[in-house]
Amino acid sequence: MILLISLLFAFLFFLLLFLGLQVLLRRKREMAERIQMFSGYQPSVVRRASIFEILRSRLHEIFAEKARRTGSASRRSRLDLMMVRAGLPLLGSEFLAISAGGAFLVFIIIALATRNPVTGLLALLLFLAADFVFVQRRITKRLNNFQRQLADCLSLVANSLRAGFSFLQTMEIISREMEPPMSTEFEKVMRDTSLGKSLDEALHDMDERVGSADFSLVVTAVLIQQQVGGNLATILDTIRSTITERIRIRREVNTLTAQGKMSGIVLACIPVALALFFYITSPEYLTPLLTTDIGKVAIIGTVFLVIVGFIIIRKIVDIKV
């Protein structure tokens, strides 16, 4: 009986949600029709909007308003910047909410499946760590793609300036001709300038979004040239040669340090692999480690030392160019 009542309430909730979204979608379409009637223009986003897109935008507005009212501004900006650099259409608070909800769901499932809350807690921590690792890997991948496109972008800018185009026209060409993430970043710059931002502020915002030291050099050169003058095409050619050489040296360093990085990963995985192997083949062999106080202390010390060793190896082979 309780199950039927719960299903009935769930059905009514989703029915009301569906009807509310339909009303909201109808209002947006009516607004688009009025805009089209007076100006002959209808936004494509409104025409193609679906119920799920409206729900996502509404949740985005709720989280944005919540973030403005509560929380630390610096922490909020760092999380939002991580989402922007990763290319995820989320706010930092939205990412935290999704990660927390998913981690809680994993905790419930694992704890009920194994009947051990400690295992569920470990699964929760692993899920949260995997979320942040996923975001960090997206940031690294996007930054690497941007840096690979930077030399070609500077060549295009220099050639366009020599052909007589202005810098704004050159940015528009880049936003049309190049691949993401370079094209999307310059498209954001064009949108910011068209909405009233100065070129200096738009370029500074792009530099903050990208987080590339090579591109910071380009932005500094462009801003200085606008203040003191000079041949921007020649300056960008010089910067392009410098960046190309830095990329070559960086790849050579990565090749030389690849063995050290892999050694750190292998050394960190060997204790875990051996523990799993003995736990599956000979569980009684690990019983003293799991049941005695000395064994638990040894496990904690081993995990701590493995983490410290992995961090030290990563710091040794992490050579900045």
Q: Does residue 262 form part of some domain?
A: yes
Question: What domain count does the chain have?
Answer: 2
Task: Work out the pLDDT band at 51, boundaries 50, 70, 90.
Answer: very low
Q: Calculate the average pLDDT of the chain.
A: 76
Residue 29 is predicted with a pLDDT of 58
pLDDT tens digits along 276-288 = 888 778 878 878 8
Residue 46 is predicted with a pLDDT of 43
Residue holding tokens 């701590």?
A: 304
| Token reading at 316 | 């040794």
Same domain for 283 and 220: no
Residue 55 has pLDDT above 60, yes or no: no
Q: Does residue 184 form part of some domain?
A: yes
Same domain for 152 and 243: yes
Domain final position from 253, 277, 306? 253
- Answer for the pair 167, 153: CB distance below 8 angstroms, yes or no: no
Residue 44 is predicted with a pLDDT of 41
Task: Work out the pLDDT band at 217, boundaries 50, 70, 90.
Answer: confident
Same domain for 313 and 271: yes
Q: Does residue 20 form part of some domain?
A: no
pLDDT tens digits along 119-164 = 778 888 888 888 888 888 888 888 888 888 888 888 888 888 888 8
Kindly calculate the radius of gyration of the chain based on its CA atoms and give it in whole angstroms: 27
Residue 61 and residue 240: Cα distance in Å, rounded?
41
Task: Work out the pLDDT band at 70, boundaries 50, 70, 90.
Answer: very low
Q: Does residue 273 form part of some domain?
A: yes
Q: Does residue 124 form part of some domain?
A: no
Same domain for 246 and 155: yes
Task: Work out the pLDDT band at 40, boundaries 50, 70, 90.
Answer: very low
Same domain for 244 and 177: yes
Q: Does residue 78 form part of some domain?
A: no
Closest C-alpha to 186, from 149, 234, 144, 239: 149
Q: Which is higher by pLDDT, 17 or 203?
A: 203
Same domain for 216 and 181: yes
Q: DSSP secondary-structure letter at 70?
A: S
Q: Which is higher by pLDDT, 68 or 312?
A: 312
Q: Does residue 182 form part of some domain?
A: yes
Domain final position from 195, 230, 253? 253
Residue 4 and residue 8: Cα distance in Å, rounded?
6
Q: Which is higher by pLDDT, 59 or 87?
A: 87
Residue holding tokens 């192997």?
A: 277
| Token reading at 141 | 């991948």
Residue 170 has pLDDT above 70, yes or no: yes
Per-residue buried b or exposed e for 97-131, using 16+ beta carbons within 10 Å of the residue's own CB:
eebeeebeebbeebbeeeeeeeebeebbeebbeeb
Domain final position from 253, 274, 297? 253
**Could you tell me the residue range of the domain that residue 289 belongs to?**
257-321
CATH of the domain at 188: 1.20.81.30
Residue 289 has pLDDT above 60, yes or no: yes
- 318, exposed or middle or buried, with CB in 10 Å at 0-12, 13-18, 19+? exposed
Residue 9 is predicted with a pLDDT of 58
Same domain for 187 and 149: yes
Q: Give me the mean pLDDT over the 268-277 stretch.
A: 85
Same domain for 213 and 150: yes
Same domain for 275 and 184: no
Residue 289 and residue 301: Cα distance in Å, rounded?
12
Residue 39 is predicted with a pLDDT of 43
Same domain for 154 and 237: yes
Same domain for 280 and 263: yes
Q: Which is higher by pLDDT, 102 or 38?
A: 102
pLDDT tens digits along 175-211 = 888 888 888 888 888 888 888 888 888 888 888 888 8
213 Cβ contact list (under 8 Å, min separation 6): none
Same domain for 190 and 163: yes
Q: Does residue 230 form part of some domain?
A: yes
